[in-house]
Amino acid sequence: MKIICVIVTYNRLLLLKTAIQAVLNQTRPVDEIIVVDNLSKDGTRAYLKNLENDRIRPRLLDENSGGAGGFYHGIKQAFEEGADWIWIMDDDSLPKDDALERLITCPVFKAKEQEIGFLASRVNWTDGNKCIMNSPLPNQVYWDWYLTDHNGCFQIDRCSFVSMLINRKAIQRLGYPVKEFFIWLDDWEYSGRITAHFPGFYIPDSQVIHQLPENKGVDYADITDQNLWKFLYEARNQVAYLTYQSGLGIFDALLFLVRRIILMNRLKKSFAQQFKILYSGLQGFFFNYKKRIEIPESRDH
């Protein structure tokens, strides 16, 4: 069984070094580590070029393609190199030494390896509490499975890209992440796309630390002129996702956008910021991400 790890990085060299070392320390070694660099300017490229480790394969992109683009390129490369399972994470992820081993030795993996779409680890913040940004979504049909402990395996519908182990078969059938999302919602859409055809499972015995500055999710109260660009992607991507999920999704998207503007008004965000969010959200109605999904040309292992 060939397992390739994909780490996406951008201007966080110190964190990247600890992430790489944590993956190298795994009790079940990975066969290869693909480090996708989104055109970093902090010395990351020089560090990756000078690494003397045959297991680490730098993928140096010519532009900053965001987290979504980075995972697209990394997963695609790992797939083309014949990986049976692809283990993905950000550069600020710190998996425990047995995180990968816990995933591939869990009861559901042993029983249904070929049927599983992905496995997801428990993501903790630096203080040991669950990381809010990376909370999985319980399976909406078999909710009792999620609420009941089945030997430490819980069925979920969606998860983040922090320590997600993806089955090659799911990629063969459903393709790669949508790189045009750039940031935010790419993981939610992709994991949901997989669980529409393959079950996904949350394995809390497998743990990873996500070294975020704060333990919180997307919060419009945090909007500033400097970080507004992230929220513009969130507005566009959410509207697009809701619009193209179903025939009536456009109404859910409209409601989402109205609520966002009302929230910003209550938070006393500037008119300029509200206008930019509204404009970006409106663009989402015309952003049919489903037409951008790329399926591997070859379905042979």
Q: How is 50-93 classified by DSSP, letter by letter?
A: T---TTEEEEE-SS--HHHHHHHHHHHHHHHTT-SEEEEEETTE
- Structure confidence at residue 78 (pLDDT): 98
d(CA 45, CA 89): 19
Averaged pLDDT, 45-64: 96
Structure token digits, residue 7: 């780490």
- Give the residue extent of every domain in the chain: 3-214, 220-289
d(CA 21, CA 17): 6
Averaged pLDDT, 187-195: 97
Third-level CATH fold of 3-214: Spore Coat Polysaccharide Biosynthesis Protein SpsA; Chain A (3.90.550)
Q: How many CB atoms lie within 10 A of CB 271?
A: 9
| pTM given for the model | 0.95
pLDDT > 60? residue 228: yes
Q: Tens digits of per-residue pLDDT, 119-156?
A: 999 999 999 999 999 999 988 666 565 555 567 889 99
Straight-line distance from the first to the last Cα atom of the chain, in angstroms, rounded to the nearest whole number: 12
Q: How far is CA 102 from the centre of its chain?
A: 20
